[in-house]
Amino acid sequence: MNIVLLGAPGAGKGTQALRMEERYKLRHISTGDIFRHHMRVQTDIGNLARSYIKKGQLVPDEVTFAIVSGALDEAGRENFLLDGFPRNLAQAEKLDEFARIDKVIDIDVDFSVLTDRICGRRSCMECGYTAHVSDLPDGTCPKCGSEMHQRIDDREETVRSRLDVYARQTAPLIDYYEKKGVLVRVSGMGSPDEVFAEIRKVLG
Ligand code: ADP
Ligand code: ZN
């Protein structure tokens, strides 16, 4: 099964992707994670990506697609879970030429909760675990004990432009996939377990 996860920044795509990857044995391809890896080890792609990411803008399509097509090829273009791609119409059309998409799961969250979720998010640089700052009494990762950090794009001034990019460029993809008959919506307003239960109802 080939799946795309849609949803605004802060909707919980990454959290659900980890559960789905394990339960359905899918290859999780997160463009955000791949860019962050490149930034950490300071490749040319990482340095380029950083200049867009820290402003809350999309990394140019050619660069992003090169990364995604490489990862899809590694997966044999089957049994993948795309998280963070596509993010605009051009990317969606390109993806259609490249691989079959069976289901698109839109994690739907009220816009009013997103800013707090994102600005309060802390991420572990070592293992990738994320949690809200209010659930982290001592600032260390509950999974591996490393220090938790705020992503460079999770600051309030950047979050505004990310939400704006989402509304203008990514949200129209809901319609795009609905017309193709592959879209399912789940509410992202519950706890991670509740949201995952909804996803399991859809995927079996
Ligand atoms: P979130 O979904 O919380 O915004 P991501 O980790 O998916 O976080 O993405 C972080 C940033 O990486 C985006 O704001 C964007 O700058 C860049 N990025 C990720 N995916 C794409 C994409 N498909 N196209 C262009 N830029 C992307
Ligand atoms: Zn950790």
How confident is the model over 14-66, as pLDDT tens digits? Answer: 999 999 999 999 999 999 999 999 999 999 999 999 999 999 999 999 999 99
Nearest to 191 by CA among 113, 85, 128, 102: 113
Residue 132: inside a domain, yes or no? no
65 lines ligand 1 (CB under 6 A): no
pLDDT at 164: 97
* 13 counts as catalytic: yes
**Is 122 contained in some domain?**
no
- Nearest-CA residue for ligand 1 atom 5 is 32
With a 6 Å cutoff on the Cβ, whether 153 touches ligand 1 is yes
- Note whether residue 139 is domain-resident: no
In-domain check, residue 115: no
Instruction: Region of 56 please: left (phi>0), alpha (psi -120 to 50) or beta.
Output: left
- CB of 85 sitting under 6 A from ligand 1: yes
> What distance in angstroms lies between residue 135's CA and the mean position of ligand 1's atoms?
24
Report DSSP letters for the chain, one per residue. Answer: --EEEE--TTSSHHHHHHHHHHHHT-EEEEHHHHHHHHHHTT-HHHHHHHHHHTTTPPPPHHHHHHHHHHHHHHTTTSSEEEES---SHHHHHHHHHH----EEEEEE--HHHHHHHHHTEEEETTT--EEEGGG-TTSB-TTT-PBEE--TT-SHHHHHHHHHHIIIIITHHHHHHHHHT-EEEEE-SS-HHHHHHHHHHHH-
pLDDT at 126 (0 to 100) = 87
Task: Using most ligand atoms within 8 A of CB, pick from 16, 31, 111 the residue to mutate for ligand 1.
Answer: 31
Decide if 87 is catalytic: yes
Could you report how far apart the first and last alpha carbons of the chain are, in Å? 12
Residue 190 pLDDT: 95
Mutate to test the pocket of ligand 1, among 30, 35, 164, 169 (most ligand atoms within 8 A of CB): 35
pLDDT per position in the chain (204 positions), as tens?
999 999 999 999 999 999 999 999 999 999 999 999 999 999 999 999 999 999 999 999 999 999 999 999 999 999 999 999 999 999 999 999 999 999 999 999 999 999 999 999 999 988 888 999 999 989 999 999 999 999 999 999 999 999 999 999 999 999 999 999 999 999 999 999 999 999 999 998
On whether residue 175 sits in a domain, the answer given is yes
* Best residue among 13, 15, 48, 59 to mutate for probing ligand 1, ranked by most atoms within 8 Å of CB: 59
Residue 148 placed within a domain: no
162 counts as catalytic: yes
Give domain status of residue 27, yes or no. yes
Query: What pLDDT, on the 0 to 100 scale, is given for residue 44?
Result: 98
Task: State whether the beta carbon of 58 lies less than 6 angstroms from ligand 1.
Answer: yes
pLDDT of the residue at 125: 84
Global model pTM greater than 0.85: yes
At residue 43, the pLDDT reads 97
pLDDT of residue 78: 97
Whether residue 121 lies in the annotated active site: yes
Residue carrying the six token digits 């820290």: 54
CATH of the domain at 59: 3.40.50.300
What's the number of domains the chain is made of? 1
Ligand 1: atom nearest CA of 118 is: 3
Range of the domain at 168: 3-109+156-203
Domain-embedded: residue 189:
yes
